[in-house]
């Protein structure tokens, strides 16, 4: 025996489906407002020992965002890459890297390196 679906049941399933699609779309769009931007540091690695005071800091974030490395401000390029030369003192150094998006969400990382 074939069970027939009533119009009310079909309408309810359509409404639930549209609600789920709308909620998923809202969550995807709101992600930029709710979450901090990505920040990946390629170099230097944390805990590295250097023999020189001039160090290149390079990484990636979302394209066009404001990046700050030890007080130096720059914009990430169209691929999200950034690179800057910083000068460190002999001994233990903490390199602060932060990125801020258009909604003032911020991600910060601190690299600890030693200059011999």
- The closest alpha carbon to 37, from 16, 65, 3, belongs to 65
Tens of pLDDT, residue by residue over 90-108, are 999 999 999 999 888 999 9
Q: Please, are residues 115 and 90 in contact by the beta-carbon 8 Å criterion?
A: yes
Tens of pLDDT, residue by residue over 53-72, are 999 999 999 999 999 999 99
HEC readout, 32-77: HHHCCCCEEEEECCCCCEECCCEEEEEEEECCCCEEEECCEEEECC
d(CA 26, CA 67): 28
- Count of CB atoms situated within 10 Å of the CB of 101: 19
Tokens of 39: 């920040």
Task: Spell out the domains of the chain, with CATH numbers in brackets.
Answer: 1-34 (no CATH), 39-115 (2.60.40.10)
**Rg over CA atoms, the chain:** 24
Confidence of residue 29 (pLDDT cuts 50, 70, 90): confident
**Which pTM does this prediction carry?**
0.73
């Amino acid at each position: 025996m074939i069970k027939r679906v009533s119009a009310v049941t079909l309408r309810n399933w359509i409404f639930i489906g549209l609600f789920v699609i709308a909620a998923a779309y809202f969550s995807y769009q709101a992600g930029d407002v709710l979450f901090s931007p990505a920040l990946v540091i390629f170099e230097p690695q944390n805990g590295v020992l250097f023999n020189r005071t001039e160090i290149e800091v390079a990484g990636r974030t979302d394209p066009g965002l404001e990046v700050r490395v030890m007080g130096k401000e720059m914009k990430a390029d169209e691929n999200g890459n950034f690179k800057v030369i910083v000068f460190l003192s002999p001994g233990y150094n903490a390199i602060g890297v932060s990125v801020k998006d258009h909604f003032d969400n911020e991600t910060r990382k601190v690299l600890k390196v030693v200059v011999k």
